[in-house]
Amino acid sequence: MKDFLNSWGISLMVFLPLVGALAMLVVPKAKEQFHKVVALAASLVVGFIGILLMTNFDYDASGRLQFVIDKAWIPIINSRYIVGIDGISLPMIALTLLIVPLCIIYSWNHFPEPKNPKAFLILILILETGMLGTFVSQDLILFFVFFEVVLLPMYFMIGVWGGEKRQYASLKFFLYTLFGSALMIVAFLALYFLSDPIEVGGQLMHSFDMRILPELATGISTGAALFIFGGMFMGFGIKVPMFPFHTWLPDAHTQAPTVGSVILAAVLLKLGTYGFIRIAIPILPGAAEKWAPFIGLLAVIGIIYGALCCLAQTDMKRLIAFSSVSHMGFVMLGIATLTTFGFQAAIFGMVAHGLITGMLFFVAGSTKDRYHTLDISRLGGMLKSMPHMGWILGFAVMASLGLPGLAGFWGEFPAILSAYNPGLGLNVAFFRVLMVIAAVGTVLAASYLLWMYQRVGFGVPTKEYEDDPHLHDVTFTEWLAWTPILVLIVVLGFMPNIIFKVTDGAVERTIAIVNGLGG
């Protein structure tokens, strides 16, 4: 079993969704039930493989890459098929494996217009492959390929199943991210050519291997490193998204179908932050140190700015989208401190934000299904017309505002804490100022979320919806899709060690690389 997992586990997990998609491709789209079952089965089997991998994962050595597969891929440029899992990627993979089946379950009975479950589910499966692939890749080119694979299905999902302004939103999303990717690949190539070559089969060649690049990249001059980091910063920063590159996000979220929003918020945004932790910072710690104050500043601006924008929104989904900008600001602040606390906070924050904001988007989607609007001023009294949904929304709101005892807190608090004592030679006073501003952001987070909840959940239903028969409470499929998330939010809130322990080894190793080479 262990041998099989070692040699095949990850590849199987990454590409099984594609197999499912292929199987669905050859069956006519009229057979909807077949497609639903196959898609769910594929995602569940993938999840099962993931669970197998996780149970066989050596948690005491979470800093080490495990289940590594290293095969030749494009020999001419020495790009290899290297995949592996360590403590940093494991939570992300787990999150992806959880969210995708839940999304499929959620859409079971209400596919957005224009229906066509076949195409919709195939896109979700392709997305899953892309996301998982990104999290396991240990080769820059492979990483890039998976990173881009994610882009297209999401483009189609927004562009086909989206709201009224879907054309605009999907194009904006696509071009924006592509722009970042272009700079990123340039940065990758620069890294490739400027790093020290290694001997491969008696021949000196450059390498895309993320495992050894931190060592190989030490010879890069400071100036070049700054530019390379800048390229990656654009690529990852747009995906996160960091202020001021966030403007694609509200539009994409507002227009995307519910499931698209959930996947976008839960996993896609994390590709950016993951890239920082996995690639940009360990490979170029010197440049990271120079960029960190700037990143920290943008992160904190994002926290306050996103919160202020939230306060001005009239559309519930758009509000949640802006809250993502604010929350991802905490994640980036943690990363910018270059400390174990900060990185741990960032990873926890990524998972927590994935669950909580995913949950909020689920509820927003279901709200839209029932009310056919998300205009906050027209909603109201959800607790009265749909008590369960109202309480779930309230719970998600509380989790989102970083209530201690729920998952959101563990992304926020350690991030603020880490800014007190930033790593390397970062300016302590500057980061402490950032810390205070970030702490103010928690108040704003509470205010926009509670104001929203006051207008949506509390009160009595407006005249328009007083006796609307469409307002039925949470359905069976919704319970099925939501319960795991709700439970996880509580469990992670009370037992944060579930994640902290897994990531600790890997984060410590990363920070050691940063300190050892950049200090």
Partner 1 sequence: MFNMIDKVWIIPALMASSFLVILFFGKRWGTRATAGIGIAAVSICLLLSVIVAGNWISRVNHPPTGAALAADVLQANGLTPQTGENIAGEVNAVTHDSGETVATDSHASMSEATTSEASASEHGAEHESVPPVVRTVTWFQIGGMEFEMGTLVDGLAAMMLITVCIISLLVHIYSTEYLHGDVRFTHYYAFLSLFTASMLFYVLSSNTLQMLVGWELVGVCSFGLIGHWWEEKKNTDAALKAFLTNRVGDIGLILGVIITFFAAGGTSFNVLHINEYALSHSANTTLLLVGALCLFGGVTSKSGQFPLHTWLPDAMAGPTPVSALIHAATMVVAGVYLIARLYGVFFSGLAIGSSTFHYVAFIGGFTTIIGGLLAFVQTDLKKVLAYSTISQLGYMVMALGVGAWTAGVFHLFTHAFFKACLFLGAGSVSHACHHTFDMREMGGLRKKMPITHATFLIATLALAGIFPLAGFWSKDEILAGASSGQQNAYTIMLIFGLITALLTAAYMGRAYWLTFWGDYRGHAKPHESPKVITVPLMILAGCAVLFGFTNFPGNFFGIHLPGGVTTRFEHFVEPTFAFPPLQHAEFTPWLAVVSTILAASGLFLAYQYYEKNRGPHGLTSRNKVALAGYTFLENKYYLDDLYTGVVAGSTKGPLARAANWFNQNILDGIINGIGLGARKIAAVVYVFADQLIIDGAVNGSGQGSEGAGQLLRKIQTGKVQQYASILFAGAVVLAGVLVFVV
Query: Which positions lie near partner 1, rule CB under 8 A?
Result: 172, 175-176, 244, 246-248, 250, 305, 308-313, 339-341, 344, 381, 383-384, 398, 403-405, 409-410, 413-414, 416-417, 420-421, 435-436, 439-440, 442-444, 446-447, 450-451, 454, 457-460, 496-497, 500-501, 504, 507-508, 511
Torsion of CA 486, 365, 261, 388, to 10 degrees: -10
| Distance in Å, CB of 473 to partner 1, minimum | 13
Max CA pair span of the chain:
79
Shorter beta-carbon distance to partner 1: residue 189 or 499: 499
CA separation, residue 94 to residues 119, 408, 512 (Å): 25, 17, 25
Shorter beta-carbon distance to partner 1: residue 258 or 340: 340
**Rounded (10°) angle between helices 340-371 and 476-494:** 160
| Distance in Å, CB of 43 to partner 1, minimum | 29
| Distance in Å, CB of 8 to partner 1, minimum | 32
Shorter beta-carbon distance to partner 1: residue 73 or 430: 430
Shorter beta-carbon distance to partner 1: residue 450 or 517: 450
Question: What 3-state class would DSSP assign to 468?
Answer: coil
Query: Which residue has 């790593």 as its token pair?
Result: 423
Token pair belonging to 41: 């089965």
| Distance in Å, CB of 446 to partner 1, minimum | 5
Closest CA to 486 of 372, 371, 397, 387: 397
Closest CA to 271 of 236, 229, 245, 302: 236
Query: Which residue has 């590159």 as its token pair?
Result: 245
| Distance in Å, CB of 377 to partner 1, minimum | 14
| Distance in Å, CB of 293 to partner 1, minimum | 19
H or E segment at 58?
none
Cα Rg of the chain, angstroms = 22
- In the chain the first and final C-alpha atoms are separated, in Å, by 42
Q: Determine contact, residues 27/34, Cβ cutoff 8 Å.
A: yes
Shorter beta-carbon distance to partner 1: residue 153 or 414: 414
Q: Determine contact, residues 269/324, Cβ cutoff 8 Å.
A: yes
Instruction: Give Cβ neighbours of residue 217 (< 8 Å, ≥ 6 apart).
Output: 191, 194, 195, 196, 225, 283, 284
Shorter beta-carbon distance to partner 1: residue 5 or 401: 401
Closest CA to 348 of 409, 271, 292: 409
| Distance in Å, CB of 312 to partner 1, minimum | 3
Shorter beta-carbon distance to partner 1: residue 145 or 433: 433
State the CB neighbour count (10 A cutoff) for residue 223. 9
| Distance in Å, CB of 61 to partner 1, minimum | 14
Q: How far is Cα 225 from Cα 205, in angstroms, rounded to an integer?
A: 20
Shorter beta-carbon distance to partner 1: residue 5 or 511: 511
Shorter beta-carbon distance to partner 1: residue 412 or 478: 412
Shorter beta-carbon distance to partner 1: residue 17 or 496: 496
Shorter beta-carbon distance to partner 1: residue 78 or 313: 313
| Distance in Å, CB of 238 to partner 1, minimum | 11
H or E segment at 493?
helix 476-494
| Distance in Å, CB of 116 to partner 1, minimum | 29
| Distance in Å, CB of 383 to partner 1, minimum | 7
Question: What 3-state class would DSSP assign to 95?
Answer: helix
Shorter beta-carbon distance to partner 1: residue 176 or 236: 176
| Distance in Å, CB of 82 to partner 1, minimum | 28
Shorter beta-carbon distance to partner 1: residue 82 or 310: 310
**Angle at the Cα of 505 from the Cα atoms of 504 and 511, rounded to 5 degrees:** 85
What count of residues does the chain have? 519
H or E segment at 234?
helix 222-239
Token pair belonging to 294: 């700037």
**Alpha-helical runs (H) found in 72-218:** 89-107, 117-136, 140-149, 151-161, 166-194, 213-216
Instruction: Give Cβ neighbours of residue 425 (< 8 Å, ≥ 6 apart).
Output: 289, 519
- Phi first, then psi, for residue 292 (nearest 5°) are -55, -45
* Residue 210 DSSP code: T
* Residue 138 DSSP code: -
| Distance in Å, CB of 504 to partner 1, minimum | 5
